[in-house]
Amino acid sequence: MGYKACHTSHPTPYLMSLSKKNEQMSDNNLSPIEKIKQASDGLRGTIEEGLKDEITGAISEDDQALLKFHGMYQQDDRDRREERAEKKLERLYSFMIRLRLPGGFLLPEQWVATHHIAGENSTGVIKITTRQTLQLHGLIKSKIKPTIRAFSEARLDSIATCGDINRNVICAAHPMQSPIHAHVHAYASKISELLMPKTKAYYEIWLGEEKLADKKEEEDPLYQDRYLPRKFKIAIAIPPNNDIDVLANDIGLIAIIENNELKGFNIAIGGGLSTTHGNPATYARLASVIGFIAGEENILKAVYAIATIQRDFGNRSDRKLARLKYTVDRHGLAWFKEEVERRIGMALEKPRHYTFTERKDYYGWQQTEEGLWYYTPFVENGRILDDEKSFHENCFA
């Protein structure tokens, strides 16, 4: 069955008036996170000092907000809070680190390296996420740097995998399935690179690179000093399989293939399934297809433009209403499409026809168009233990 952009909600007058106010919002209405971002000196904050503080396993609250942009979350084991308080121990803080793996692609040696790093520095469990990446849990503060350094040696990073910024770009899973798949898959990396923040903070803090003498080198025309109002997700699907749930993303690109050739992409905007419990102003929304665009340069320009519109018009006072879907609905699809066209200096074509017939993973042995065999294992809950025996038992038994 095909998926259609079925959500056509019309912004209410109330929301319209609210949006006007938002755009002229004084700094006082900014959410606290906005102020932290702006004052962060390129996402640096006081993370360095916080890492050196040996007395606590935590980092300051402001730095926790910034740490997300570096691909990490601070967590603590809630079940242990009470008992540890009695023992005069602080909460059991640890960190989750998530890799940037555009299209979920990593080389065999990178996979092996990740295994070693997980065993040495984290709980030993590798989690495969729904956004086609890997995350490690339970890193204590002193293990963060060694972890990121080890990843770096394997040419892996965790830049922008959390936080108010473009997240890991996801794509139809297997690039070697066909030449078209490889071609489309390459866009995941290109978009990821395009929307990376320009700050060198990640390299300075975690990899010990020298501090920039001239801050102009990291001026960021896309994110400026405010980044996006909220997380921003991009997915690329190759019909007829919608394995990555393309319309659940802020931007969904649907590859249009005619005569076994990639023609371009339909662009869908404003998807997102999450709602806040008890907050009726929040809702799930499937992305709306606003047009078709061809040519790599144009495609990238359009994606970039959508991100800048969200940067300029997204809600920065209420984080619950800050995702692109609310921006789209507040301003209307037509306005949004015009704004995209204005920013890229060209009109979008009418959406092309596409059909999704399935939304699944093909487990077990499969064959590429070329005739090569490959195997897709089922990994329950995406959990892989750092233990070769159990890995093989889980995946290949």
* Minimum distance from residue 134 beta carbon to another protein (Å): 24
Would you give the binding string for another protein spanning residues 137-176, x where CB under 8 A is met? Answer: ---x-x----------------------------------
Residue 92 binds to another protein (criterion: CB under 8 A): yes
Task: Please list, in sequence order, all residues whose beta carbon lies within 8 angstroms of the beta carbon of residue 373, skipping any fewer than 6 positions away.
Answer: 365, 366, 367
The amino acid sitting at 48 is E
Residue 84 binds to another protein (criterion: CB under 8 A): yes
Which position among 4, 16, 49, 85 is part of the footprint of another protein (CB under 8 A)? 85
Residue 216 binds to another protein (criterion: CB under 8 A): no
- Give the interface segment with another protein, choosing from 50-58, 215-223, 258-266, 382-390 (CB under 8 A): 50-58
Residue 54 binds to another protein (criterion: CB under 8 A): yes
CA 270 – CA 232 distance, rounded (Å): 10
Which position among 12, 17, 56, 390 is part of the footprint of another protein (CB under 8 A)? 56
Task: Please list, in sequence order, all residues whose beta carbon lies within 8 angstroms of the beta carbon of residue 385, skipping any fewer than 6 positions away.
Answer: 124, 125, 126, 391, 394
CA 208 – CA 206 distance, rounded (Å): 6
Number of residues interacting with another protein: please give it, by CB under 8 A: 16
Nearer to another protein, 61 or 369 (CB): 61
Q: Whose structure tokens read 């967590």?
A: 75
Q: Which residues, listed in sequence order, are joined to residue 237 by a DSSP beta bridge?
A: 254
- CB neighbours (10 Å) of residue 373? 8
Task: Judge whether 160 and 102 are in contact, CB under 8 Å.
Answer: no
CA 169 – CA 193 distance, rounded (Å): 10
- Give the interface segment with another protein, choosing from 41-49, 55-63, 168-176, 228-236 (CB under 8 A): 55-63
Nearer to another protein, 142 or 279 (CB): 142
CA 165 – CA 40 distance, rounded (Å): 15
Which position among 52, 88, 216, 360 is part of the footprint of another protein (CB under 8 A)? 88
Residue 86 binds to another protein (criterion: CB under 8 A): yes
Q: Whose structure tokens read 């692609």?
A: 105
Residue 57 binds to another protein (criterion: CB under 8 A): yes
Residues that bind another protein (CB under 8 A): 54-57, 80, 83-90, 92, 140, 142
